[in-house]
Structure 1
C-alpha cells in the first residue's frame, strides 16, 4: 500500500512542470537532447510574444512616421537649418508631428469655440451627397470604439450559435431598441460575435435575452480566449464552480 502511494507521488513529480507566460511547460527528464529541446521550446514561449509585439509596434511607427516625414523634414531643414547626421529625412519626426497634431486637434475640439467649429464642419459635410454617408458611418464607428465615456462591450456572454447545441462567446453591447425590437415579440439584446483570431471583425446578432447566459470572466479574459482559439483559459481558484446563469431580465 505504501509502495503504491509512493509510486503515485513519483508519477506526480514526473508530470509536474513549470509555467512560462501562462503556459505549462512539462519538466524534462533524462538525455541532453531532450533538455536542449525543452530549453528551445521554452525560449520560443518567452521570445515569440516579445518579438511579435516589438515588430507590430515598429511597423505601426514606420507607417505613421511615413505619412508626414517627407514633408516635415524639408521644412525644418530649409527654414531652420535642422538636420540629422546629414540624412535627408529625420527618423521619427513624422510620428512626433502627427501625434502633436492629433493632441492639438483634440484640445481645440474640447473648448467652446472648437466645438462650434467642429459642429459647423459636420453640418457642411452632412449636406454633401455621398460624402455625408461615408463620413457619417466612419464617425459613428470611431465614436463607438474610441469614446472614453462608455464601454462598447458591456460584458462577455454565451449563447447557442450557429445551431442548437453549439455555443459561442460574444459581447453584449446593449438591449436592442428601435425598429428591430419593434418587429419582434421577445426582448432582444445586441451581441457582437468576434472572429478568431482577429476579434476586430465579426457579426452583429440580435438574440433573445432568455437565450443568453452571463459568463464569470472579464472582457479581457474573453478576448484572450477568442484570440488564442480557446488555448488561453481564464484562471480559477481550485474548487470554484461555474454556474450557468441567464441574463437578468
Structure 2
C-alpha cells in the first residue's frame, strides 16, 4: 500500500505543483487588474463605474488586460517620447523620501537581472562553501565595485549561493576568481539540480571531458 501511494504521489506531484504555480501567477495578475479597476472607478462617474464593475467577475480577463498593458508599455518606452516619460517619472520618484530608496533598489536589481546586456545569472559555477573542501553551485552576478572593491584583493567575483530546495533565498559571496570552477551547464540545468537536491543531474557536457 505504501509503495502504491508513493508511486501515485510521484505521478501527480509535478502536475499539481505546476498548476499551483500557474494559479498563483494568474491570481496575482487578476489582483492587479482588480486594483486598477477600483482606481479607475473612483475617478469616473458612478454610472460608468458600475458598468465596469461587471468586468471584475470575468475569469481570466485581468490576465489578458495586464499582458496587453505590459506589451503596449514595452512598445511605448522603446521610442524617444516613451523614454523621456520614463526618465521624468524616475526623476520624480527619486525625490520622494522612503519611496525613492525602495524604488531605486528594486530598479537596479531588476535592470541587472533582466537586462539583455547584463551578466547576472548568466553562468553557473562551483565554489567552496560553507568551508574549504565543501563545494556548492553558485551563480555569477558580477564583480565587486566601489568601496567594497577597494577593500578586497584584485580579480574577485560576486556570486549568489542559492539554498535548497528554495533557490529564492541564499547568500552573496565575494570570492577570488582563481577559486571558482566554471561549469558548462546552463542556468536552468543548475537550478533543476539545486531544487531537486542533487537528484536530477544535468547531462554531461562534451567540454567537461576535454
Gaps of 5+ in 2: 42-47
Change (3 A) 1:154 1:123: same
Matches within 5 A, 1:1-249: 37=3, 41-69=6-34, 71=37, 78=51, 89-236=57-204
Pick the structure with more helix per residue.
2
Structure 2 CA distance for aligned equivalents of residues 106 and 222 of structure 1? 30
Change (3 A) 1:117 1:83: closer
Q: CA deviation at 1:151?
A: 4.3
**Local SS of the residue matching 2:139:** strand
CA contact (8 A) 2:184 2:207 kept: no
Q: TM-score, normalised by structure 1?
A: 0.69
Q: CA RMSD in A?
A: 3.0
CA contact (8 A) 1:69 1:92 kept: no
Change (3 A) 1:42 1:112: same
Structure 1 CA distance for aligned equivalents of residues 153 and 145 of structure 2? 12
CA radius of gyration, larger in = 1
CA contact (8 A) 2:113 2:121 kept: no
Give per-residue Cα distances to partners, 1:88-109, cap 9 Å, x unaligned: 7211222222222222222211
Give per-residue Cα distances to partners, 1:88-141, cap 9 Å, x unaligned: 721122222222222222221111111111111111122222221111011112
Change (3 A) 1:114 1:186: closer
Which one has more relative contact order, counting CA pairs under 8 Å at least 6 apart?
2
Gaps of 5+ in 1: 1-32
Q: TM-score, normalised by structure 2?
A: 0.81
Aligned length: 202
